[in-house]
Amino acid sequence: MMTTSNSQEARKAAGREPSIGIIGAGNIGQAIARALARNGIAATLSNSRGPESLAETIAAVGPTIVAGTREEAAAKDMVFVAVNWSKLPAALSGLPNFTGRIVIDANNPIEAPLFKPAELGGCTSSEIVAGMVPGARLIKAFNHLLPSLLAGDPGSEGGRRVLFYSGDDAQAKAELGVLIDRLGFFGIDLGSLAVGARLVQFPGGPLPALNLVKFD
Ligand SMILES: NC(=O)c1ccc[n+]([C@@H]2O[C@H](COP(=O)([O-])OP(=O)(O)OC[C@H]3O[C@@H](n4cnc5c(N)ncnc54)[C@H](OP(=O)(O)O)[C@@H]3O)[C@@H](O)[C@H]2O)c1
């Protein structure tokens, strides 16, 4: 039987691009979808209310993006998660095994309307998200910029807008690094989750909301 990590190896050996799913179709999920669509990259976008509720959104974000169920998005090689902090357990429960697949944690442990930081018990928020997707190769990324900066042209200021990422699996980070580059951003690997996720954590870390540009 082919395991998930075997099938990832087979995909890479065949030179196939990773398939992409997005769980959460709000400000950040749509911004990620727009960035992908602008570069001709396909993805399945999902929310809690089902694909029919996304018809207008899909028409607006771009032709390479399709609406799907949460399960369909979660079954892709690379799964972005952009859901309100308190709704993450529901959004990530009852899904297929994530083992070997890449999950990108774009979430922050705070939410409207109170904007009261969630109680994390000394952990990073990514450690808590990692516990909801057992076996996934988790990367913290796409959480530290405003949606408009994620969705907009990363070259608009004459250089390349910086995107930070961190995680414990070097190969997964290399794959995301390739995607970040294709999207036109300048990716900076902050190292392990224990270090990097703390640096970009909002609130608390020093890096969120900085609009940094790399000039060559
Ligand atoms: N907004 C920002 O400036 C910003 C910046 C960086 C990071 N973030 C982080 O990104 C995450 C998303 O923020 P946002 O502003 O995009 O939130 P948002 O606009 O409120 O969108 C949240 C999305 O999550 C979906 N969702 C909720 N429960 C779900 C479930 N059980 N299954 C599948 N999807 C579910 C919602 O779908 P339905 O509408 O169908 O329920 C909605 O599409 C948060 O963790 C936030 O902290 C936000």
* Residue-averaged pLDDT of the chain: 94
What confidence tier does 4 reach under pLDDT thresholds 50, 70, 90? low
How many A from CA of 194 to the centre of ligand 1?
24
Beta bridge partners of 166: 140
Closest ligand 1 atom, residue 107 Cα:
45
The answer to whether the CB of 95 is under 6 A from ligand 1 is no
Mean pLDDT along residues 7-18: 76
Q: Does the beta carbon of 70 sit less than 6 angstroms from any atom of ligand 1?
A: yes
Report pLDDT digits (tens) over 69-106: 999 999 999 999 999 999 999 999 999 899 999 999 99
Query: In 10 A of CB 52, how many CB atoms?
Result: 7
Q: What are phi and psi of 211, to 5 degrees?
A: -95, 85
Buried b (16+ CB within 10 A) or exposed e, 141-180: bbbbbebebbbbebeeeeebbbbbbbbbbeebbebbbebb
pLDDT of residue 82: 98
Please report the DSSP string for 86-142 in residue order.
GGHHHHTTTPPP-TT-EEEE---S--TTTTPPPP-TTS-HHHHHHHHSTT-EEEEES
CA atoms within 13 A on the CB side of 21: 22
Say how far apart CA 66 and CA 169 lie, in whole Å: 29
pTM of the model: 0.96
| Residue 215 in this model has a pLDDT that exceeds 70 | yes
Q: Ligand 1 mean position to 158 CA, how many Å?
A: 30
Residues, the chain, total? Answer: 216
* Cβ atoms of 142 and 28 closer than 8 Å: yes
Q: Is the CB of 130 under 6 A from ligand 1?
A: no
pLDDT band, very low/low/confident/very high, at 125 (cuts 50, 70, 90): very high
106 close to ligand 1 (CB < 6 Angstrom): yes
Does any ligand 1 atom lie closer than 6 A to the CB of residue 83?
Answer: yes
Give the model's pLDDT for residue 156: 87
User: How large is the greatest C-alpha to C-alpha distance in the chain, in angstroms?
Assistant: 49
Sort strands 43-46 and 65-67 into parallel, antiparallel or unpaired. parallel
Q: Is the CB of 87 under 6 A from ligand 1?
A: yes
Ligand 1 and 21: CB distance under 6 A:
no
**pLDDT at residue number 184:** 98
Residue with CA at minimum distance from ligand 1 atom 37: 47
Is it the case that residue 22 has pLDDT exceeding 70? yes
**How many beta carbons lie within 10 A of that of residue 13, not counting itself?**
8
pLDDT (average), residues 188-201:
96
**One-character DSSP codes across 21-73:** EEE--SHHHHHHHHHHHHTT--EEEE-SS-GGGGHHHHHHH-TTEEE--HHHH
